[in-house]
A and B are shown apart, each in its own frame.
Chain A
């Protein structure tokens, strides 16, 4: 089985006018960066891939994950992780419960707990399982969000301006962690950003977008 995320003749339209067109295959461990000013529809492209395209838009083309067509599948049946610029940890759950939420069901309580602890250890947050997410620093939250996503066993990773809220130091740190993990796990990564530094750090192919609709 070929590990990859393919956007095959994908086109997003609004009111019949194409906003964005992509035709590309991202291989395992590779990062595709889509760059462009805000408002060109980068995030809309991601919502098409997660299956949550707002009804005002129309998406055509196919999304293939590991060669299987997932275009018609509901969001929860697409094993694709996504990180936003905000950590979006669920505020009513502890750090551990946030991680458990993403883990596939099954296994005993102790086993699940062990997995959570191991996951936290991987991101240097050992012993944080019972903490309130609100008490964590920005970098810590970003790492929890990453680990929550990873524990759900995604087969591809989407990054929606994922680092833009972090300040410079932290940004490099978190970005390196994400890319390193993606490579280790052989995940195809699609990143949208308006930041050239992010694009360079990704080291993959870069698609620069301009507004198609305006002219």
Chain B
């Protein structure tokens, strides 16, 4: 049984991706038998290229994706270079879990209210400093360059990349390198960048690629913060896929393939950029430049890191205030009064949706845990660790843009008559939950001292007894953290729920994004908060439960 788990896991992870791409490929070339259309034909691409907004939409996808990734990576590199190993860094590390678990949509809502012309920042400064008694007519959110959208992506991707970087630093043993560099007269930042960063980057490369693919094809953030005249290519794909005119699906499928090509192109471009940066970096290393202007870089990196963290926290605070606000207009910093009305009105439904959200996340994560633990145990027993290719396989579902294969998957499910509902949605969530659970659990699982298993075996414990009675309890904390990561991934899923659920399955994320179009900030506040709580509570439990269970077992607290 255990032997088949790795294959089953691959099937659960890649099966839907491959099937979805197939379901996209056929209609992109005019083949959609269920609608009485037979290919091959290039008409879908013709109509795609005839769309007037294509240039702008494609440019937006590429620029927002690449700029957001480059900015996030730059901020993370500077923070790590300036502060890793210090007390400030440990504080930042502790902020990571809550920051990571905040769903993209909630962070985007919060940010939108912070930076809008009528937003909190503007209110704080008005009218005293700005002289505005009415919000200025400035195109800050939904700007055509996608700057607000880039900001929304950066505040969420910085914590993700920082977490990956911290894990990589752990393996790179930076202290000694840094010591050598500093003893040779290098400043902390340049010393770190020259000696540690190359090793760290090779470890976080795949996560960086994930960020590129994600940022280029994200839908919910683009709906909330991105421009609409035209929107990004991903948003337009979703619009085409839901057009009552079935032939638009063909255009949508063609656009999805185009999107895939854009992502592949952007990844290649990035790969070339890596080569260029490596070469420039080498020249910089050879120059022997000691780079002693550390203080300003350190202040800058701390500033950027804090701004991106505070943007999320204050954004959430604004959601909280809106959810209790009576009338609240510009330029008042706080509402005229507070009321329970919004919660009274939306609380019950939000609570019910909370249950549905948790149910879907719970089942998906349970399946993922079973598969991942099974794979890791099989790996342990066979003694064959995951290969480089296996790691790429893990990342594959995260590298293929969602908009490229989910529409195809939806068409495919419909044409085979699979009923919509929770089960397909859970399986679609599993595609994204699995890799994250695997990545989160793999390292601590492998880091476990296997001599424990030898001792337990020598004491007469069978392999499954070793697993249940020794390994799993000792790794309870990482298992629960992986569970929390999985739940937060599932809670944040917008497109899989929307497309595969066929509208019948609503989670806090789909409800919140649906509310976004209505602009009711109070209701958005309730759902955005509920969404954040749904992702945060498991993280809190992952910390509290082991601390409570093992309260008398000192060695299980780090």
Residue of A nearest to B473 (CB): A92
Instruction: Report yes or no: B455 in contact with A84, Cβ–Cβ below 8 A.
Output: yes
What are the residues of chain B within 8 A of A143 when measuring CB–CB?
none
Instruction: Report yes or no: B384 in contact with A148, Cβ–Cβ below 8 A.
Output: no
Task: Select which of A104, A132, A133, A158 is within 8 A of B460 by beta carbon.
Answer: A104
Q: Is A135's beta carbon under 8 Å from chain B?
A: yes
Contact (A132, B553) CB under 8 Å given A84-B451, A86-B451, A88-B449: yes
Instruction: Report yes or no: A82 in contact with B454, Cβ–Cβ below 8 A.
Output: yes
Instruction: Report yes or no: A154 in contact with B456, Cβ–Cβ below 8 A.
Output: no
The interface size bin for chain B is: 20 to 34
Interface residues of A in 77-122 (CB under 8 A from B): 78-82, 84, 86, 88, 90-92, 94, 101-102, 104
A-contact 0/1 string along B442-479, CB 8 Å cutoff? 00000001011111111111110100011001101000
Interface residues of A in 7-60 (CB under 8 A from B): 47, 50-52, 54-56
Instruction: Report yes or no: A79 in contact with B383, Cβ–Cβ below 8 A.
Output: no
B-contact 0/1 string along A135-149, CB 8 Å cutoff? 100000000000011
What are the residues of chain A within 8 A of B550 when measuring CB–CB?
92
CA of A80 to CA of B459, assembled, Å: 8
Q: Is B555's beta carbon under 8 Å from chain A?
A: yes
Instruction: Report yes or no: B459 in contact with A50, Cβ–Cβ below 8 A.
Output: no
What are the residues of chain A within 8 A of B552 when measuring CB–CB?
94, 132
CA of A52 to CA of B383, assembled, Å: 10
What are the residues of chain B within 8 A of A214 when measuring CB–CB?
none
Q: Is A204's beta carbon under 8 Å from chain B?
A: no
Q: Is A181's beta carbon under 8 Å from chain B?
A: no
Interface centre among A47, A101, A158 (most CB of B within 10 A): A101
CA of A127 to CA of B556, assembled, Å: 23
Residue of B nearest to A145 (CB): B455
Whole-angstrom distance between the Cβ of B459 and the nearest chain A Cβ? 4
Q: Is A164's beta carbon under 8 Å from chain B?
A: no
What are the residues of chain B within 8 A of A55 when measuring CB–CB?
382-384
What are the residues of chain A within 8 A of B554 when measuring CB–CB?
132, 134-135
Chain B's interface: helix, strand, loop or mixed, by majority?
helix
Task: Select which of A94, A102, A133 is within 8 A of B555 by beta carbon.
Answer: A133
Residue of B nearest to A104 (CB): B460
What are the residues of chain A within 8 A of B473 when measuring CB–CB?
90, 92
Q: Is A62's beta carbon under 8 Å from chain B?
A: no
Task: Select which of B383, B451, B457 is within 8 A of A75 by beta carbon.
Answer: B457
Q: Is A152's beta carbon under 8 Å from chain B?
A: yes
What are the residues of chain A within 8 A of B465 when measuring CB–CB?
76
What are the residues of chain B within 8 A of A52 when measuring CB–CB?
453-454, 457
Instruction: Report yes or no: B459 in contact with A148, Cβ–Cβ below 8 A.
Output: yes
Residue of A nearest to B459 (CB): A102
Instruction: Report yes or no: B460 in contact with A82, Cβ–Cβ below 8 A.
Output: no
Residue of A nearest to B382 (CB): A55
CA of A132 to CA of B557, assembled, Å: 12
Instruction: Report yes or no: B556 in contact with A92, Cβ–Cβ below 8 A.
Output: yes
The interface size bin for chain A is: 20 to 34
CA of A133 to CA of B452, assembled, Å: 15
Contact (A75, B553) CB under 8 Å given A84-B451, A88-B449, A88-B451: no
What are the residues of chain A within 8 A of B474 when measuring CB–CB?
90-92
Task: Select which of A47, A56, A149, A158 is within 8 A of B459 by beta carbon.
Answer: A149
A-contact 0/1 string along B141-157, CB 8 Å cutoff? 00000000000000000
CA of A152 to CA of B460, assembled, Å: 7
Instruction: Report yes or no: A101 in contact with B461, Cβ–Cβ below 8 A.
Output: yes
Residue of A nearest to B549 (CB): A92
Task: Select which of B449, B452, B462, B553 is within 8 A of A76 by beta carbon.
Answer: B462
What are the residues of chain A within 8 A of B384 when measuring CB–CB?
55
Residue of B nearest to A153 (CB): B460
What are the residues of chain B within 8 A of A101 when measuring CB–CB?
456, 459, 461, 469
Residue of B nearest to A152 (CB): B459
Task: Select which of B452, B461, B556 is within 8 A of A88 by beta carbon.
Answer: B452
CA of A199 to CA of B451, assembled, Å: 23
What are the residues of chain B within 8 A of A92 when measuring CB–CB?
473-474, 476, 550, 553, 556
CA of A91 to CA of B477, assembled, Å: 13
CA of A30 to CA of B469, assembled, Å: 34
Instruction: Report yes or no: A149 in contact with B458, Cβ–Cβ below 8 A.
Output: yes
Instruction: Report yes or no: A75 in contact with B470, Cβ–Cβ below 8 A.
Output: no
Instruction: Report yes or no: B383 in contact with A50, Cβ–Cβ below 8 A.
Output: no
CA of A176 to CA of B453, assembled, Å: 27
CA of A147 to CA of B461, assembled, Å: 17
CA of A102 to CA of B457, assembled, Å: 9
Instruction: Report yes or no: A78 in contact with B383, Cβ–Cβ below 8 A.
Output: no
Instruction: Report yes or no: B555 in contact with A80, Cβ–Cβ below 8 A.
Output: no
Whole-angstrom distance between the Cβ of B95 and the nearest chain A Cβ? 28
Instruction: Report yes or no: A76 in contact with B451, Cβ–Cβ below 8 A.
Output: no
Interface centre among A54, A80, A84 (most CB of B within 10 A): A84
A-contact 0/1 string along B422-454, CB 8 Å cutoff? 000000000000000000000000000101111
Whole-angstrom distance between the Cβ of B323 and the nearest chain A Cβ? 41
Residue of B nearest to A154 (CB): B458
Task: Select which of A50, A102, A132 is within 8 A of B454 by beta carbon.
Answer: A50
Instruction: Report yes or no: B555 in contact with A75, Cβ–Cβ below 8 A.
Output: no
A-contact 0/1 string along B531-558, CB 8 Å cutoff? 0000000000000000000101111100
CA of A102 to CA of B465, assembled, Å: 12
Instruction: Report yes or no: B553 in contact with A50, Cβ–Cβ below 8 A.
Output: no
Instruction: Report yes or no: A75 in contact with B458, Cβ–Cβ below 8 A.
Output: yes
Whole-angstrom distance between the Cβ of A164 and the nearest chain B Cβ? 14
What are the residues of chain B within 8 A of A50 when measuring CB–CB?
454, 457-458
CA of A165 to CA of B384, assembled, Å: 30
Instruction: Report yes or no: A91 in contact with B553, Cβ–Cβ below 8 A.
Output: yes
Residue of B nearest to A49 (CB): B458
List 12 A–B pairs whose Cβ atoms lie within 8 Å, in order of A's numbering: A50-B454, A50-B458, A54-B383, A76-B461, A81-B459, A88-B449, A90-B470, A101-B456, A132-B552, A132-B554, A134-B553, A148-B459
A interface, CB within 8 angstroms of B:
47, 50-52, 54-56, 74-76, 78-82, 84, 86, 88, 90-92, 94, 101-102, 104, 132-135, 148-149, 152, 154, 158
Extra contacts, 7 of them, besides A84-B455, A91-B474, A158-B458 (Cβ < 8 A), are A52-B453, A55-B382, A76-B460, A82-B458, A90-B473, A91-B556, A133-B553
* 3 A-B pairs with the lowest CB-CB distances in the bound complex, closest first: A75-B457, A55-B383, A134-B554
